[in-house]
Amino acid sequence: MGFKNSYLQGVYDTVQRRNPGEPEFLQAVREVLESFEPVLEKRPQLADTGIIDRIVEPERFVTFRVSWVDDSGKVQVNRGYRVQFNSAIGPYKGGLRLHPSVNSSVIKFLGFEQVFKNSLTGLPMGGAKGGSDFDPKGKSDGEIMRFCQSFMTELYRHIGPDTDVPAGDIGVGAREIGYLFGQYKRITNSFVGVLTGKGLTYGGSLARTEATGFGLCYFTKEMLAVMKQDSLAGKTVVISGSGNVAIYACQKATEMGAKVVAMSDSNGYIHDPDGIQLKVVKEIKEVRRGRIKEYVDAVPTASYTEGCRGIWGIPCDVALPCATQNELDGADADKLIANGVIAVAEGANMPSTPEAIAKFRQAGVLFGPAKAANAGGVATSGLEMCQNSMRYSWTFAEVDEKLRDIMVGIFHSAYNASQEFGDAGNLVLGANVAGFLKVADAMKWQGVAY
Ligand code: NDP
Ligand code: 2IT
C-alpha cells in the first residue's frame, strides 16, 4: 500500500533504493513513516526542513572484522557492526546483539527504532545499535571472553562516555559486558561509563538487570488502567522467550497478581497451567545456561512442546512477546484474538508483524509497541550513565521508582500524541510521533552541515 503523502512516498522510495535486501529495516521505516501522515497534514512545513529525509539515514555505520581463536586453536572470523543512527538529543546509545541472524538489516532496524525509543524516555540519549553474527551458544567462557576482547579492540575507537555508550541485547548480558568493559579499560587506560549493564562492583546500576521486564509491566499496568479501567491482577499471561526481558517480565507480572502460564526459547515452549515457577526458570537460564525444556524435569505437571510459535495458541488475557523480531504474525494474532486476549505489549523489538498489529487494532486489543513498552531497559541505562557521571549510586528502590515514573510518562506521551494526531488509543502512532517530535526539534535547531 502506498503513502497518501507524496513526500513520504518519496522518502520511502529512496530508503528502499538505498537499502536493497534489508526487509527488517524497511519494515521499521515504513511503520514510522506511516505514523507521520497526520503529522504532515498538521505541519506541512516539516517537509521543507529535510528532517525526515535525514532521520532515515544513519549518521554513521561501521562494520569490522572480528577474528578470535577458539578452544581448539582454530582462527574464527565474524563480522562486527555498529550503527550510530542519530545524535540530535544526546550521545549515541543502544545495545549490542550477538546472534547468528545479525546482519546489517537487523542492526539498522534496531538502531532506527532506538532513536525514537530513547527520545520517549525523556533522557538525553541518541540512537545506536551494534553486534555480530557470532553465536554464543555452546561456546566456552574463554571463547566468549576472547571474542568480546577482539570485538572491543575494533569498537573502542568509535565509542566513549560522551560519544556512544553500548549495552546488552540478545546474547549480551553481564558476563559479556564485563569482558567488553575490561578490554576498553585496558586499551584506553580510562575507567569511564562507556558501557551500561555493568556489574554492581564496577559502576553498574541496581535494577538494570530487571529494568526491561519490570518496565514492560509498569507500562502494561498503566495502559490497562487508563484505556480499560483494568489491571494485571488475576490475568492469565503468556510470555515468549526466557531470557533477560522475559524472566523479569514474568517476575513483575506475577508480583502484580497475574498468572504467567507459558514461556519459550527458540526450540519450544513450556505450558504450566499452575503458574510458572520462576525460581526454576532462573536456575535453568541464569545459572546453568540451559534450555527451557528442562523445566518439565523439575515441574512434571507442566508440559513441553517443540517449536516456539505454538505458544500463541495458549489462551491468555495478556500476551508479552519478549524473544525476537517478527515472532508473532497474523495467524498468531488470529489465535490470540479468538482466545480473548485483551492486551499485547512488546518486550522484544518489533516482535509483531505489521499484519498482526493491524489485526489487534481491528479487534480492539490494547497494543503497546516496543519503542514505548520496552524502553525501561535503556531508560535505566540512562540512569546508570547519570550515576556514573555523579560517581554515586542510588538504591534499588530509588532506581525502580524512577523507572516506574518514566514508564508511566512514556505511556501518557504516546497516548496524548495519539489523541492530538487524530487516532486516540493508537499507541503505535503515538509512540512514533512523540519520540519523533523531540528529535526533530533538536535537529532543526542544530542546523544542516553543508
Ligand atoms: P536474551 O539473549 O537474554 O534472551 C533472548 C530470548 O529470546 C531467549 O529465550 C532466546 O531463545 C529467544 N530468542 C532469541 N532469538 C530467537 C529467535 N530467532 N527465535 C526464537 N526465539 C529467540 O535477550 P533479551 O531478553 O535481552 O532480549 C529479548 C528481546 O528484548 C530482544 O528483541 C531485544 O532486542 C529486546 N530488548 C532487550 C532489552 C534489554 O535490556 N536486554 C531492552 C529492550 C528490548 P534461545 O536461547 O533459544 O536463543
Ligand atoms: O533494545 C534496547 O533498548 C536495548 N537492548 C537496551 C539498550 C541500552 O542501551 O540499554
Mean pLDDT by 10 residues, the chain (450 residues): 95 98 98 98 93 98 98 98 98 98 98 99 98 98 98 98 98 98 98 98 98 99 98 98 98 98 98 98 96 98 96 98 98 98 99 98 98 99 98 98 99 98 98 98 90
From the CB of 93, is ligand 2 less than 6 Å away? yes
Going from the Cα of 322 to the center of ligand 1, the distance in angstroms, rounded, reads 6
Give the CA angle between residues 135, 350, 385 to the nearest 5°: 75
* Interstrand relation of 92-98 and 60-69 (parallel, antiparallel or unpaired): unpaired
Which grid cell is 52? 525526515
Q: Which ligand is nearest to the CA of 381?
A: 2
129 is catalytic: yes
In this predicted structure, what is the pLDDT of residue 40?
97
Q: Calculate the CA 180 to chain-centre distance.
A: 20
> 224: closest CA among 335, 320, 353?
320
β-sheet with 92-98: strand ranges across = 60-69, 75-86, 127-132, 92-98, 164-167
In this predicted structure, what is the pLDDT of residue 449?
74
In this predicted structure, what is the pLDDT of residue 1?
78
The counts of H helices and E strands in the chain are: 17, 12
- Taking the C-alpha atoms of residue 47 and residue 53, their distance in angstroms, rounded to an integer, is 9
Going from the Cα of 443 to the center of ligand 1, the distance in angstroms, rounded, reads 32
Give the CA angle between residues 37, 39, 43 to the nearest 5°: 120
- C-alpha dihedral sign at 96, 101, 107, 110: negative
Take atom 41 of ligand 1 and give the residue whose Cα is closest: 169
Q: Which residue type, as a one-letter code, is found at position 358?
A: A
Which stretches does DSSP call E strand in 114-253?
127-132, 164-167, 236-240
Nearest ligand 1 atom to the CA of 110 is 34
Going from the Cα of 111 to the center of ligand 1, the distance in angstroms, rounded, reads 16
Compute CA distances 277 → 25, 98, 202, 251, whole Å. Answer: 37, 28, 31, 9
In this predicted structure, what is the pLDDT of residue 78?
99
Q: How many residues does the chain have?
A: 450
The one-character DSSP state at 328 is B
